[in-house]
A and B are shown apart, each in its own frame.
Chain A
Amino acid sequence: NAGVTQTPKFRVLKTGQSMTLLCAQDMNHEYMYWYRQDPGMGLRLIHYSVGEGTTAKGEVPDGYNVSRLKKQNFLLGLESAAPSQTSVYFCASSYGQAQNIQYFGAGTRLSVL
């Protein structure tokens, strides 16, 4: 069972470059999320989606864009990367029921030089 798959696993960018992180889930989940994880700050929500074709801002959305064209995929874009976006990015998905159990991918480690 694949669950939630993130690509790529690692990436190094130069300041100003752009890139897209892909998240794919095979559990038919309605809800999908993008988080960033920084030391001592836990996980912070960037953007989320409550269904195909919908997106919403989370706690730290600036500098990121997302798209959910297909139910199983959730893309996170960085249009002009900045060193402050160096982080580990996690995608998660859930059924959308009460108590919201989230299933996470293995993460993408991004460094912006």
Chain B
Amino acid sequence: TQLLEQSPQFLSIQEGENLTVYCNSSSVFSSLQWYRQEPGEGPVLLVTVVTGGEVKKLKRLTFQFGDARKDSSLHITAAQPGDTGLYLCAGERVRGYQKVTFGTGTKLQVIP
């Protein structure tokens, strides 16, 4: 059973466009992370959100944790080819439990 569903699964856009990736669950998470994975590499952490309603910005990337801590979104403004990669959300069900559940992933391609 996949606890975290991401949408869309694939996204191909032109450079300069905006996009939003969603991470949804019926379960509550104590924290939620977003990773980016480039081909041939392991995932690299982008951000962690902890508080319901929290918004974090990382340059052109905006991350939001849902008020009920069941969902999250990643918005990219003016996408660049360097944003191309697989975006994964990962939720920690119980704080300090030291296991996270990864989402299904969103593969983003930004065309120059």
A58 within 8 A of B: yes
B104 near A102 with CB under 8 A, answer: no
B73 within 8 A of A: no
The interface stretch among A37-45, A62-70, A75-83 is A37-45
CB-CB contacts of A51-74 with B at 8 A, as 1s and 0s? 000000010000000000000000
**Which A residues are CB-close (under 8 A) to B99?**
45, 48, 58, 100
The secondary structure that dominates the B interface is loop
A43 near B102 with CB under 8 A, answer: yes
Within 8 A of A (CB), among B27-86: 31, 33, 40-45, 48, 50
Inter-chain CA distance A104–B104, complex, in Å, is 17
Inter-chain CA distance A98–B92, complex, in Å, is 9
**Which A residues are CB-close (under 8 A) to B98?**
31, 48, 50, 94, 96, 100
**Which B residues are CB-close (under 8 A) to A107?**
40-42
Which interface class (under 10, 10 to 19, 20 to 34, 35 or more) fits A?
20 to 34
The chain A residue with its CB closest to the CB of B103 is A42
Inter-chain CA distance A98–B103, complex, in Å, is 19
Partner of B45, one of A4, A50, A96, A102: A102
**Which B residues are CB-close (under 8 A) to A96?**
98
The chain A residue with its CB closest to the CB of B89 is A42
Report the minimal beta-carbon distance from A62 to chain B, rounded to whole angstroms.
16
Report the minimal beta-carbon distance from B5 to chain A, rounded to whole angstroms.
10
Report the minimal beta-carbon distance from A79 to chain B, rounded to whole angstroms.
24
Sample of 18 A–B contacts (CB below 8 Å): A4-B42, A42-B6, A42-B88, A42-B102, A43-B90, A44-B102, A58-B99, A90-B43, A94-B98, A98-B96, A99-B31, A99-B95, A100-B31, A101-B45, A101-B48, A104-B44, A106-B41, A107-B41
Interface residues of A (CB under 8 A from B): 4, 31, 35, 40-45, 48, 50, 58, 90, 92, 94, 96, 98-102, 104-107
List 7 tightest A-B contacts by C-beta distance, closest first. A104-B42, A43-B102, A42-B102, A42-B104, A42-B105, A99-B48, A99-B31
